[in-house]
Amino acid sequence: MTNDEKKKIKLKIEEDIDILQKQIAILEENSRPIPSCCPSEQLTRTEEMGDQEINNKILQTSRLHLIQLQNALLRVKTPLFGICVECEEEIALERMRIRPESTRCVACKI
Q: Say what the pLDDT of residue 65 is.
A: 98
Q: Say what the pLDDT of residue 90 is.
A: 96
Of the listed ranges 35-39, 65-69, 84-88, 99-103, the least confidently predicted one is: 35-39
Partners of 83 in the β-ladder? 90
Q: What is the CA radius of gyration of the chain?
A: 19
CA proximity to 49, closest of 38, 61, 36, 39: 36
* pTM of model > 0.85: no
CA proximity to 6, closest of 81, 95, 74, 87: 81
Domain ranges of the chain: 3-79
Question: Computed from CA positions of residues 43, 45, 48, 53, in that sequence, does the dihedral angle turn out positive or negative?
Answer: negative
Statement: residue 27 has pLDDT above 70: yes
Average pLDDT, the chain: 89
pLDDT, tens only, 29-55: 887 765 655 555 555 656 666 677 888
